[in-house]
């Protein structure tokens, strides 16, 4: 306890000197004061770890001094000393921020345990705060993986906008990870210890979406048996993520504009105006500007949402991230399926690099999951991938005209046409069955079931 500093405030000299003697023997550095004004003169934020404070003193009382000290240093631990404890005074002192209180005559052992407990609790709180900070520095949401130049730029934008309460619009094709970027912004913001509430606007009818967003009162409509909070209310202190924002109706756009501007709303069927402190992050795979030109989206709402824009590139525009993403998904599914980690054979990875992935990262994840389910060998083979990946590969655009590539495609086509009848396929190919089996093993073919 050598580095811990205590301040003892008591108008009785014998009490001050006794406490000073006890705690200096325990290794504390102890200062004393006999009045509140003297204590305040000695007091600065962070100067003391703990204050032992007498409630009843001439001039300013201990409770008044407690309030002033906590205003200066909210983290200060204060233990009150009283000669005449009462339930009401005890409750008030604890409400005003005291850690605990002890009655006179003071038992040194009891007070020693109380101080030790208070100091240890403060240490744990500080360590917990530091741990939270270090975690939020390094954690990204699952699947937000990539080291391409495009993704590094997105990480920079996330870091920049996360420190503000600015409304963010995330643009990108389906499956690119718009919700993951929204979560990353929230996790790095000052709102990170409050919820992020997600609403997928495109999956709900407008009447249902209205009650989801704003909540409803009991009896507002058939089936409304209880009052229910809306998503805006649930997001108080945190973030609300509005996915597929371009799909909402014109009427709901008007209501949403009002909420964006005022942070106030009423529940469906209610008249009470409610307030909620939330940050809005919206996302869409459509061009809001084009919808504004077409008259299906309000221009004023578009401007309100489009304050800070992050555009997520499709996977075909950042193919250098495919191996890293694939490795991440293999590890993820290996754990989930209790299997060993696998690597992709060169031919399989070559196909994945050349495929355009119209479904983006989500499609890649599904392809890796399938490969982990059906794959029997120690490496992921071409035939472990979904059939459209290798049916839409390099052989269709004549970019790979090597003899091996052409042979591979031809043999696979013959096997499929003959429903994997080995004798018939060998006859068509004009090779013997043993040679065909060798070719099947060489190219890693596996019959689709």
Domains of the chain: 5-133 (3.40.50.2300), 149-313 (3.40.50.300), 317-443 (1.10.8.60)
Question: Average pLDDT of 217-242?
Answer: 88
- pLDDT bin (cut points 50, 70, 90) of residue 74 is confident
Structure-model confidence comparison of residues 241 and 444, the more confident one: 241
Tell me the pLDDT of the chain averaged across its residues: 85
The answer to whether the CB of 27 falls within 8 A of the CB of 73 is no
Nearest Cα neighbor of 61 from 9, 103, 99, 97 is 9
Residues in contact with 302: Cβ distance below 8 Å, sequence separation at least 6, in sequence order = 288, 289, 291, 292
Which residue's structure tokens are 């997520």?
312
Is 208's pLDDT higher than 70?
A: yes
Question: Average pLDDT of 188-196?
Answer: 92
CB-count burial class (<10 Å; 0-12, 13-18, 19+) for 350: middle
In a 3-state reduction of DSSP, which class is residue 242? strand
Q: What percent of the chain has pLDDT over 90?
A: 34
The answer to whether the CB of 52 falls within 8 A of the CB of 8 is yes
Is 134's pLDDT higher than 50?
A: no
> What b/e readout covers 234-250, taking b as 16+ CB neighbours within 10 angstroms?
ebbebbbbbbbbbbbee
Is 272's pLDDT higher than 50?
A: yes
Q: Tell me, what's the pLDDT at 312?
A: 95
Is 441's pLDDT higher than 60?
A: yes
- Alpha helices by DSSP H, listed for 73-205, are 87-95, 108-138, 149-162, 178-187
Strand pairing category for 196-200 and 168-171: unpaired
Cα-to-chain-centroid distance, residue 190:
12
Q: Tell me, what's the pLDDT at 109?
A: 85
The answer to whether the CB of 98 falls within 8 A of the CB of 71 is no
Residues in contact with 207: Cβ distance below 8 Å, sequence separation at least 6, in sequence order = none
Strand pairing category for 215-216 and 228-229: antiparallel
- pLDDT bin (cut points 50, 70, 90) of residue 105 is confident
CA distances from 148 to 153, 154, 317, 365, 368 (A): 9, 10, 10, 18, 20
Question: Average pLDDT of 47-69?
Answer: 86
Q: Tell me, what's the pLDDT at 191?
A: 93
Structure-model confidence comparison of residues 97 and 346, the more confident one: 346
Is 86's pLDDT higher than 90?
A: no
Is 248's pLDDT higher than 60?
A: yes
CB atoms within 10 A of CB 356: 13
The answer to whether the CB of 206 falls within 8 A of the CB of 142 is no
Give me Rg for the CA atoms of the chain: 34
Between CA 9 and CA 20, with CA 14 as vertex, the angle to 5 degrees is 55
Q: Tell me, what's the pLDDT at 108?
A: 83
Question: Average pLDDT of 33-49?
Answer: 86
Q: pTM, whole model, 2 decimals?
A: 0.58
Q: What percent of the chain has pLDDT over 70?
A: 88
**Cα(428)–Cα(417) distance, integer angstroms:** 11
Is 198's pLDDT higher than 90?
A: yes
Q: Which range is least confidently modeled, 17-26, 83-92, 115-124, 299-308? A: 83-92
Is 27's pLDDT higher than 60?
A: yes
**Cα(382)–Cα(96) distance, integer angstroms:** 68
- pLDDT bin (cut points 50, 70, 90) of residue 375 is confident
Calculated CA dihedral for residues 94, 95, 98, 102, nearest 10 degrees: -20
Residues 275-333 pLDDT 10s: 999 999 999 998 899 999 999 999 999 999 999 999 999 999 999 999 999 999 999 99
Longest Cα–Cα distance in the chain: 111
- pLDDT bin (cut points 50, 70, 90) of residue 90 is low
Q: Tell me, what's the pLDDT at 149?
A: 92
């Amino acid at each position: 306890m050598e580095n811990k500093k205590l301040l003892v405030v008591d108008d009785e000299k014998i009490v001050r000197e006794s406490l000073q003697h006890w705690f200096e023997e325990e290794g504390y550095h102890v200062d004393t004061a006999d009045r509140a004004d003297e204590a305040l003169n000695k007091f600065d934020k962070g100067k003391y770890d703990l204050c032992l404070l007498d409630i009843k003193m001439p001039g300013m009382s201990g409770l008044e001094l407690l309030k002033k000290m906590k205003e200066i240093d909210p983290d200060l631990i204060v233990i009150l000393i009283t000669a005449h404890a009462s339930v009401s005074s005890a409750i008030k002192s604890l409400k005003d921020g005291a850690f605990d209180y002890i009655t006179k005559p003071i038992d040194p052992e009891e007070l020693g345990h109380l101080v030790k407990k208070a100091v240890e609790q403060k240490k744990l709180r500080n360590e917990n705060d530091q741990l939270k900070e270090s975690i939020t520095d390094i954690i990204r949401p699952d699947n937000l993986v990539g080291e391409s130049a495009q993704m590094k730029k997105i990480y920079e934008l996330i870091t920049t906008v996360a420190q503000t309460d600015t409304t963010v619009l995330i643009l990108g094709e389906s499956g690119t990870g718009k919700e993951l970027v929204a979560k990353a912004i929230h996790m790095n913001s000052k709102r990170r210890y409050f919820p992020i509430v997600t609403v997928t606007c495109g999956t709900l009818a407008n009447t249902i979406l209205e009650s989801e967003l704003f909540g409803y009162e009991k009896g507002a409509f058939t089936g409304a048996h209880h009052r229910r909070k809306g998503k805006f209310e649930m997001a108080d202190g945190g973030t609300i993520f509005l996915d597929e924002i371009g799909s909402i109706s014109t009427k709901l756009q008007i209501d949403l504009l009002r909420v964006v501007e005022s942070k106030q709303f009423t529940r469906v069927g209610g008249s009470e105006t409610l307030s909620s402190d939330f940050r809005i992050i919206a996302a869409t795979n459509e061009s809001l500007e084009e919808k504004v030109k077409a008259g299906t989206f309000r221009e004023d709402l578009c401007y309100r949402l489009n304050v800070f824009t992050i555009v997520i590139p499709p996977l075909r525009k950042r193919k250098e991230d495919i191996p890293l993403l694939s490795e991440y998904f293999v590890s993820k599914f290996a754990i989930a399926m209790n299997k060993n980690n696998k690597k992709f054979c060169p031919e399989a990875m070559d196909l994945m690099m050349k495929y355009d992935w119209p479904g983006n990262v989500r499609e890649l994840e599904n392809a890796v999951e399938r490969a982990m389910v059906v794959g029997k060998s120690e490496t992921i083979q071409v035939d472990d991938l979904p059939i459209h990946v290798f049916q839409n590969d390099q052989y269709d655009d004549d970019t790979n005209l090597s003899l091996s590539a052409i042979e591979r495609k031809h043999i696979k086509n013959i096997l499929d046409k003959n429903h994997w009848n080995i004798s018939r396929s060998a006859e068509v190919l004009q090779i013997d069955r043993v040679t065909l089996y060798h070719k099947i093993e060489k190219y890693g073919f596996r019959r689709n079931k």
